[in-house]
Amino acid sequence: MKKRLLYIGNALSRKGSTVTSVEILSELLKNEGYQVRIASSQPNKMLRMLDMMWHTIRYARQTDIVLIDTYSTSNFWYAVIVGYVCRLLKLPYIPILRGGDLPNRIKKSHKTSKRLFTNAKINIAPSQYIIDAFKSVGIDNITYIPNTIETAQYTFKKRSVVAPRLLWVRSFSKIYNPLMALKVLKNLTNTYPKASLTMVGPEKDESYKECLAFAKANDLPVIFTGMLSKEAWRSIANDHDIFINTTNFDNAPVSVIEAMALGLPVISTNVGGLPFLITHEKDGLLTPANEIELFCNSVVRLLKEPQLCATLSENGRKKAESFDWAVLKVIWGEVLS
């Protein structure tokens, strides 16, 4: 009989945020026969924390395992508190390590982190980057399960001869450095006046207004779509040629995997888990963080080297297929058994 799961995470898509892992993975697990409850959809952070605690206590006797999406910034404390409640109730729990800056969080909150992670049934890491960081501080109860997509939902379009039509998909948050995407565009338009950029994602902090102001001040050819459904952004991706990821901190972003599945050549900053996800010049291009000129040079390479572009497009799709749910559900079944 399949286990009864309580999945703790930020289920906020109905409140104007992007669809998150708790909403995606919970549905996939339900389709495999697991009974899954999720918490929480409360937009207020304090109410969300209380709701997570309430669900953990209320459904303790009806739960076999608690899954906890674990981030590196303020949401880290949701995992800490829920993990503490689980230990009091003797409930097995599994942190799913989503936060790209978790290695630094472990250093900042060392004792708290050790209690949370060493007492877990197991920790799930979506990148080797996180595994290496955890093992370096003696946290060994950890295994690798990457983020997943259903590749059948992503129509592959091979890119070879491309134009500088750039696509950026992420929340507007400083940690994802959206302003860098606009600076790249500004630099490109000096040589390629028809270069353009579409930025997809909801507003998270003041970086959104900064981007709007920068785009207006420099009269940049950029479209801000706001938050879109996955179906909607997959549709507009068909009219773009290059996917750019400008983040300062990251783990194994699903948006990058999705771009690969669509055949978009990916250029990303070389931070966090990205060099574990992308093999430079095989299925993507990597550049140092905040290096505008070097990032632009990578865009120009794709414009001038159609064979490289085609190679990244084809290999990116193959990489994305290795993250398909049909492959990963077997591993999840073993962890949850």
Let me know whether 212 and 283 are in one domain. yes
- Residue 207: is the preceding peptide bond cis (ω within 30°)? no
> 220 — phi, psi (to 5°)?
-90, 145
Let me know whether 164 and 254 are in one domain. yes
Let me know whether 177 and 113 are in one domain. no
Decide if 156 contacts 262 (C-beta within 8 A): yes
Let me know whether 111 and 162 are in one domain. no
Let me know whether 288 and 331 are in one domain. no
> pLDDT per position in the chain (337 positions), as tens?
899 999 999 998 776 667 788 999 999 999 999 999 999 999 999 999 999 999 999 999 999 999 999 999 889 999 999 999 999 999 999 999 999 899 999 999 999 999 999 999 999 999 999 999 999 999 999 999 999 999 999 999 999 999 999 999 999 999 999 999 999 999 999 999 999 999 999 999 999 999 999 999 999 999 999 999 889 999 999 999 999 999 998 999 999 999 999 999 999 999 999 999 999 999 999 999 999 999 999 999 999 999 999 999 999 999 999 999 999 999 999 999 9
Neighbours of 292 (CB within 10 A): 15
Amino acid at position 218, single letter: N
Please give the Cα distance from 63 to 119 (Å, whole number).
Answer: 18
Q: How far is CA 83 from the centre of its chain?
A: 22
Q: What is the CATH number of the domain that holds 38?
A: 3.40.50.2000
Please give the Cα distance from 259 to 316 (Å, whole number).
Answer: 8
Decide if 198 contacts 240 (C-beta within 8 A): yes
263 dihedral zone (left: phi>0; alpha: psi -120 to 50; beta): left
Q: For residue range 181-196, list pLDDT tens digits in order.
A: 999 999 999 999 999 9
Q: For residue range 137-161, list pLDDT tens digits in order.
A: 999 999 999 999 999 999 999 999 9
Let me know whether 113 and 164 are in one domain. no
Let me know whether 77 and 137 are in one domain. yes
Q: What pTM, to 2 d.p., does this model score?
A: 0.92
Amino acid at position 328, single letter: L
Task: Give me the domain span that covers residue 169.
Answer: 151-321
Please give the Cα distance from 245 to 270 (Å, whole number).
Answer: 10
Let me know whether 270 and 313 are in one domain. yes
Let me know whether 330 and 297 are in one domain. no
Let me know whether 174 and 289 are in one domain. yes
Let me know whether 136 and 230 are in one domain. no
Let me know whether 157 and 138 are in one domain. no
Decide if 157 contacts 314 (C-beta within 8 A): no
Domain count, the chain: 2
